[in-house]
Amino acid sequence: MSEERIQSEKMEIFLKGLWKDNPVFVMLLGMCPVLAVTNSVINAVVMGVATLAVLTLSNLLISSLRKLIPGQVRIATYILIIATFVTVADYAIKAASLEVHKALGAFISLIVVNCIILGRAEAFASKNSIGKSVLDGLGMGLGFTLALLLLGSVREILGNGSFAGIDLFGPNFQPLTLMILPGGAFFVLGSYLLLFNWFKHRKEKEQRELEAVTFYTGEATR
């Protein structure tokens, strides 16, 4: 493989988590934190960054140990590794800010059972090189953080009239309280999915039309 192709392949691995295989909007993975902690921007970002860190580090370790871990015990080993990094993240957040740790509550510990992390370990890190696995973890983690941020900002702006704790509309704002209740998460996620699918649908349609045109012209010139 030429140098250029390797570069573009790496780019591809990194970018697919952001858009094409976005864990939230495309794969619909890890719905528990997506719905539960996106009621404010700060909560959403901290959750996203914690997941990003755990995902990248566990991908790194799993990928470097992939030749040593026997297939029979791989799931148990992956969970052990993931749980370790989650515990580390938990302590780190607690040391950094007690307030944020309290706001997130049990959901930090629940990163362990976030299916994105085990999913990437099993599907990617266990059969790819260390560099690629780290890139994959970063991409997926960033995609996840981005999705949480998108949900969190809509919910906080509409539901509380503020962004990251900064009041936007003054004291007379009538908030759409539903948006910060659990039900609002479903409304916002549903709307985003609608938007994403609409985009995808339109792009596919354009693609098909383009193909049809080339097919037709190809036929004509023959």
Partner 1 sequence: MSETTQAPVETPQINSSRLLMAMGSVGFIAGILIVFTFQFTLPIIKANEKAYLDQSIFEVVPNTAYKKVFTPDKNGVLTPIAEDSEEPYKIFACYDKEHKLTGVVVEASGQGFQDVIRLIYGYDPQKQAVIGMKVLQSTETPGLGDKIITDAKFLSNFAHLDVSLDESGERLKAPITLIKGPRENDHQISAITGATISSRAVTRMIARSTAINIPLIYKNLKVLEEAGNE
Partner 2 sequence: MEKKIELLLSSSPFLKQQEDTPAVMRQVIYSLLPAVLAALWYFGISALMVMLTAVSFALLTEGVYNRLNHKKQTLHDGSALLTGLLLAMTLPPGIPLWMAALGSFVAIALGKLIFGGLGSNIFNPALVGRAFLQASFPVSLTTWVAAGSLSNFGDWRGPAFTIPFIQEKVDVLTTATPLSMMKFEGHLTPLNQLFLGHSAGSLGETSALLLLLGGLYMVIRNYINWRIPVAIFAAVMVFAGGLHLLNPEKFAPFYFHLFSGGLMLGALFMATDPVSSPITHKGCWIFGIGIGFLVVLIRTFGGLPEGVMYAILLMNSVSPLLNRVTQPRIYGAVDDRHKAKSKP
Residues at the interface with partner 1 (CB under 8 A): 21, 27, 39-40, 61, 65, 68-74, 76-77, 80-81, 83-85, 87-88, 91-92, 94-95, 98, 102-103, 105, 119, 122-124, 126-127, 156, 159-160, 175, 177, 180-181
| Residue (27 or 193) nearer to partner 1, CB | 27
The entry of partner 2, partner 1, none that residue 48 binds, CB within 5 to 8 Å by partner kind:
none
- Give pairs for 159-165: CB < 8 Å, separation 24+: 159/39, 159/184, 160/40, 163/41, 164/40, 164/41, 164/42, 165/40, 165/41, 165/42
Shortest Å distance, C-beta 166 to partner 1: 14
| Residue (171 or 218) nearer to partner 1, CB | 171
Distances (CA, A) of 198 to 13, 21, 69, 99, 193: 24, 16, 43, 39, 8
| Residue (48 or 152) nearer to partner 1, CB | 152
Q: Are 60 and 130 in contact (CB under 8 A)?
A: yes
Binders of partner 2 in range 176-205 (CB under 8 A): 176-179, 181, 183-184, 187
Q: Are 143 and 23 in contact (CB under 8 A)?
A: yes
Shortest Å distance, C-beta 213 to partner 1: 29
